[in-house]
Amino acid sequence: MKLTNIEKKSDLSFFISLDRNKDQNQRFLLLSDLHIDNPKCDRKLLLKVLREAKEQNAIILIFGDLFCLMQGKGDPRRNKADIRPEHNKPNYIDAVIKDTADILKPFANNIALIADGNHETSIIKHIEVDPIDYLLNYLHKHNPDIQHGGYQGFVRLNTYIKENNSNVKNIDIFFHHGTWGGAVTKGTLSVNRYASIVKSDVVVSGHTHDTWYVEHPYYEMRKSGEVIQKTQYHIKTGTFKQEYLAAGGFQIEKQVMPKPLGGWWMDVMNGRGSDPARISFSKAD
């Protein structure tokens, strides 16, 4: 039985209705940059986090680069050291996607959204195959409501509904797989950039394999004229690809800084009366 209801409103927007008691906390698992088919993916850690999500009835949102998929014929990035033995077959793409489906199948009822990253869009561009759609052909047998998101979009959470089904309180999450990084700043300058263009409660991005949590306070004037201070929460999701504990390789030669592993938990507690829902974050590792 699926955990929650998610509805696609447009290519850019998805609504999740939480069928929960208003006093109950709902946990979400925010992930990106799994690179699940790469030999350097820490699958042991990934499975640990996914099992915890299932045990805690968490809703899983994946924001890009679920796949690596760089070992196909004609891919200039391909490297024999970066292909798992079970994927080293003539039907390489098929082998990767079927293996990924087998890994994610036990957690399908918890997964609400899988969005595109640059690795997925690269496959679409170069070999005209959409790997997420292909994967969902398998996962939809277990949960037909898993949605395919783009490189960016919004997820709206309906966190509290009165008995007459009115007065819905929403939390809006904006997701963008990512673009801005920085060896020194670790991409934190993107907080002000996103805040200048996006109105949402939470901003989630990945891509750079960094991980952090930043609160961005701002002022808002209500219709009554009362001025209040609100907070926009920014999450950089991290990665599950451990490529720095080696004697050599691309990342070592380029002196790219080591990256933290894992994802993020987001806990949503429904508000009472006119109180807003409360959001908190913690590392999932």
Which tens digit of pLDDT belongs to each residue from 271-285? 665 566 789 999 999
Q: Where are the domains of the chain?
A: 5-284
Contact indicator for 52, 284 with CB cutoff of 8 Å:
yes
State residue 170's pLDDT score: 87
For 2, 25, 99, 199, the CA distances from 209, given in Å and listed in that order, are 30, 28, 23, 24
Contact indicator for 149, 173 with CB cutoff of 8 Å:
no
Whether residue 162 is predicted with pLDDT greater than 60 in this model: the reply is: no
Least confident stretch, 99-108, 212-221, 248-257: 248-257
Which tens digit of pLDDT belongs to each residue from 202-237? 999 999 999 999 999 999 999 999 999 999 999 999
State residue 229's pLDDT score: 94
Alpha carbons 176 and 118: distance in angstroms, whole number: 11
Quick one: average pLDDT of 130-147?
Answer: 97
State residue 44's pLDDT score: 98
User: Strand order in 13-17's β-sheet?
Assistant: 5-10, 13-17, 152-160, 169-176, 202-205, 227-237, 211-221
Helices (H), 90-189: 92-104, 118-127, 131-139
- The CATH code of the domain at 5-284 is 3.60.21
Percent of the chain with pLDDT over 90: 72
Whether residue 182 is predicted with pLDDT greater than 80 in this model: the reply is: yes
State residue 71's pLDDT score: 77
Confidence of residue 183 (pLDDT cuts 50, 70, 90): confident
